[in-house]
Each structure stands twice: as structure tokens, then as C-alpha cells.
């Protein structure tokens, strides 16, 4: 297992009491661990998990980016839902394809 995989799989073990790492990807995982702690705190206060929904419009690159976003959000403690009544919704669209942008504006 690579060091990167180890960081990702052990995000709960990252020390948040020290300095913020200067190098990537350690810096990114530090902030993910920080966000995970905050998400847990808010979820505990609400008595329910925080939810998200990703709506993708546009090309295949947008679909791949949406998968990455969902993976990050799940890693920090959010639960995905099909409902647009989620705690927050991400509209991921393609600025090259005008039709994709127009469809998003209809949802806002």
C-alpha cells in the first residue's frame, strides 16, 4: 500500500494538533481530516448525518469530476442522497456546452 493510500484509508489518524503540512497531498488530507471532524460535530448536534446531492450536466469529464467530489464528501462523513432536499446540492456543469448551463439555471 502506498503512503497516499495509507493517508486516505487512515484519515482519522491524522494529527490535527500540529502544523499544517506544507506538501501535497498530505496538506489536502489534513484539511479533509479537519472537515471530517467538523462534519461529525455538526451531525452529532443535529442527531442525523449530513447529506449531499451532486447533479451533473455536461460531458464525461463532468461525470468523472462529480464522482471525485462525491468520494471526497463521503470520506469526510457526508452521506449521498438522491434527493435535492439534501443539506447541500452541487450542480456540476460544463461551461463549453451552453445547453448544460441552461439546464442548471432552470434548477436554481
Q: According to the model, what pLDDT value does residue 53 have?
A: 97
Q: According to the model, what pLDDT value does residue 1 have?
A: 63
Count Cβ atoms within 10 A of the Cβ of residue 33 and give its class: 0-12 exposed, 13-18 middle, 19 or more buried.
buried
3-state secondary structure of 96: coil
Q: According to the model, what pLDDT value does residue 11 have?
A: 87
pLDDT tens for the chain, 108 residues long, are 666 566 667 888 888 998 999 999 889 999 999 999 999 999 999 999 999 999 998 788 889 999 999 999 999 999 999 987 899 999 998 777 667 667 777 777
Q: According to the model, what pLDDT value does residue 100 have?
A: 66
Give the C-alpha separation, 75 to 52, whole Å: 12
Q: According to the model, what pLDDT value does residue 49 have?
A: 98
Domains of the chain, by residue range, sit at 1-47, 49-108
Q: According to the model, what pLDDT value does residue 95 have?
A: 76
Give the C-alpha separation, 15 to 23, whole Å: 15
- Which three three-digit cell numbers place residue 29? 488530507
Nearest Cα neighbor of 48 from 71, 74, 79, 76 is 79
Q: According to the model, what pLDDT value does residue 55 have?
A: 93
Q: According to the model, what pLDDT value does residue 97 have?
A: 65
3-state secondary structure of 64: helix
Amino acid at each position: 500500500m502506498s503512503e497516499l493510500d495509507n493517508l486516505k484509508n487512515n484519515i482519522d489518524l491524522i494529527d490535527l494538533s500540529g502544523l499544517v503540512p506544507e506538501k501535497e497531498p498530505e496538506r489536502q488530507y489534513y484539511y479533509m481530516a479537519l472537515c471530517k471532524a467538523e462534519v461529525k460535530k455538526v451531525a452529532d448536534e443535529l442527531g442525523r448525518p449530513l447529506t449531499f446531492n451532486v447533479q451533473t450536466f455536461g460531458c464525461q469529464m463532468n461525470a468523472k469530476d462529480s464522482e471525485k467530489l462525491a468520494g471526497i464528501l463521503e470520506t469526510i462523513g457526508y452521506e449521498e442522497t438522491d434527493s435535492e432536499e439534501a443539506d447541500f446540492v452541487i450542480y456540476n456543469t460544463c461551461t463549453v456546452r451552453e445547453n448544460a448551463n441552461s439546464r442548471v439555471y432552470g434548477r436554481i
